[in-house]
Amino acid sequence: MGRRGNGTRRLRVAAGTVVVLAATMAPGAAVADPSPAPVPGTPVCEVRGGRLSEISGMAATDRGFVMVNDGADDEARRRIFFLDDRCAVVRTVSYPSRPRDTEDLAVGADGTVWVADIGDNDRSRQTIAVWKLPPGADRPVLYRMAYPDGPHDAEALLVTGDDRPVVVTKYSANLYAPSAALRPGTTAPLVKVGQVRLPASTTSNPFGALGRTAVTGGATAPDGRRVVLRTYADAYEFDVADGDVVAALTGGTPRVVALPDEPQGESVTYDRDGRSLLTVSETAGRPPGTMPRILRYPLPAAVSSPAPTATPGPTTPAAGAGAARSGGGPYLVVAGALGLALIAVGLVALARARRARSR
């Protein structure tokens, strides 16, 4: 979610968000397979010790888990944390310089840990970055990247089988990938390679309509044949053919796993056997003594699905085009309802920010 310099946390409602949400849920978006009624996740373990209260990225490993906080003000929390299978911290790795806003984490096929330093609540960063920690290394290496069209806020990272990072922006679900090799000391240009169109959702979550569309994390299955993106409300799993992650996200039909009422769910990973999803929420601002809990959700079986009505490709039709095809009626109703929901979300976020400042 990101963090301001004064420590005040917020769910940022950016200018143009209403348009983004309407486009995301417009007629023609991918239709997900039916999913069962939302069921809370099964607790796996609690993360103790107090240093991991703002978990923004998590990956499962053969020995346990790797986690990062987002842009923590406390230096002791700015680490890459390695945990055992009971959620006890067994090792930490420091950064050689201060990261800006670490928002996701992935582990590549060779065991390299990728930390996505891509958060930008205020949309003011000239570059974003990934930190790579090879197996056995004691310091991660920084690799900078730059968007072609100005700053974006992002909280999700996927790493393809050929070690290409794919950044997913938070509110528009645009996909960006480097057009040149990542090299220390240089800035690799990013190119837009597509956009994800998530299905509509009604899953209960603390942030209402906005929480159902804000992309807060991503992960790749151990076999590389599936990827998942999550919001504050749901997880969307896509099948990957021939290693083409972008084609899967832009043209595939996802299976939905509801993640109901997680306090502030920003992390997702596959279990090591690939049969379930694991999630964890931030607990900053929760009652004293509240510990982050890893939750397990079973995955629905893969079934053959009809092709999505959206045209696969690196770009998506404008929201207005979808409205014209449908006659405009349902689209206007959805857009109006979303506008009212966003007003409510904004008021709640403002109230939370004021309470945070008063503490």
What is the per-residue pLDDT across 118-155, written as a single tens digit (0 to 9) for each? 999 999 999 999 999 999 999 999 999 999 999 999 99
Does residue 176 lie in a domain region? yes
Task: Give the pLDDT score at 321.
Answer: 33
The lowest-confidence range among 200-214, 221-235, 320-334 is 320-334
pLDDT exceeds cutoff 50 at 29: no
* Residue 232's pLDDT band (cuts 50, 70, 90): very high
More confident residue, 50 or 29: 50
What CATH code is carried by the domain that includes residue 323?
2.120.10
- Residue 297, classified by CB atoms within 10 Å of its CB into exposed (0-12), middle (13-18) or buried (19+), is buried
Rounded mean pLDDT, 310-316: 36
Rounded mean pLDDT, 184-198: 97
Asked if residues 80 and 96 have their Cβ atoms less than 8 Å apart, the reply is no
Q: Which domain holds residue 248?
A: 17-358
The lowest-confidence range among 81-95, 181-195, 218-232, 313-327 is 313-327
Task: Give the pLDDT score at 289.
Answer: 80
User: What is the C-alpha to C-alpha distance for residues 329 and 169, in angstroms, rounded to an integer?
Assistant: 29
Report pLDDT digits (tens) over 85-100: 999 999 999 999 999 9
Does residue 11 lie in a domain region? no
* Residue 328's pLDDT band (cuts 50, 70, 90): very low
Backbone angles phi, psi at 117, to 5 degrees: -90, 75
Task: Give the pLDDT score at 7.
Answer: 39
3-state secondary structure of 296: strand
User: What is the C-alpha to C-alpha distance for residues 281 and 214, in angstroms, rounded to an integer?
Assistant: 15
Chain CA centroid to CA 321, Å: 28
Specify the amino acid at residue 48: R
Buried b / exposed e along 166-200 (16+ C-beta atoms within 10 A):
bbbbbbbbbbbbbeeebeeeebbebebbbbbbbbe
Task: Give the pLDDT score at 207.
Answer: 96
Does residue 103 lie in a domain region? yes
3-state secondary structure of 245: helix
As a whole number, the mean pLDDT across the chain is: 81
Does residue 2 lie in a domain region? no
User: What is the C-alpha to C-alpha distance for residues 328 and 348, in angstroms, rounded to an integer?
Assistant: 30
Q: Are strands 141-146 and 187-195 parallel, antiparallel or unpaired?
A: parallel
pLDDT exceeds cutoff 70 at 319: no
* Residue 1's pLDDT band (cuts 50, 70, 90): low
Does residue 194 lie in a domain region? yes
Task: Give the pLDDT score at 95.
Answer: 97
Rounded mean pLDDT, 256-271: 96
Rounded mean pLDDT, 77-84: 96
Instruction: Give percent of the chain with pLDDT exceeding 70.
Output: 74
Task: Give the pLDDT score at 36.
Answer: 58
179-187: which pairs have CB atoms within 8 A and are 24 or more residues apart? 182/130, 182/132, 182/143, 182/145, 183/143, 184/141, 184/142, 184/143, 186/144, 187/127, 187/144, 187/145, 187/146
Rounded mean pLDDT, 254-280: 96
Count of domains observed in the chain: 1
| Rounded-to-5 percentages of helix, strand, coil across the chain | 15, 30, 50
In the 8-state DSSP scheme, what is residue 125?
Answer: -
Rounded mean pLDDT, 32-36: 53
pLDDT exceeds cutoff 50 at 250: yes
- Dihedral sign computed on CA atoms, order 353, 172, 336, 204: negative
Task: Give the pLDDT score at 92.
Answer: 97
Does residue 233 lie in a domain region? yes
Rounded mean pLDDT, 330-342: 41
Task: Give the pLDDT score at 347.
Answer: 40
Task: Give the pLDDT score at 132.
Answer: 98
In the 8-state DSSP scheme, what is residue 77?
Answer: G
More confident residue, 26 or 85: 85
Residues 6+ apart with CB under 8 A from 58: 65, 66, 67, 105, 267, 268, 269, 278, 279, 280, 294
pLDDT exceeds cutoff 60 at 350: no
Does residue 10 lie in a domain region? no
Does residue 133 lie in a domain region? yes
3-state secondary structure of 90: strand
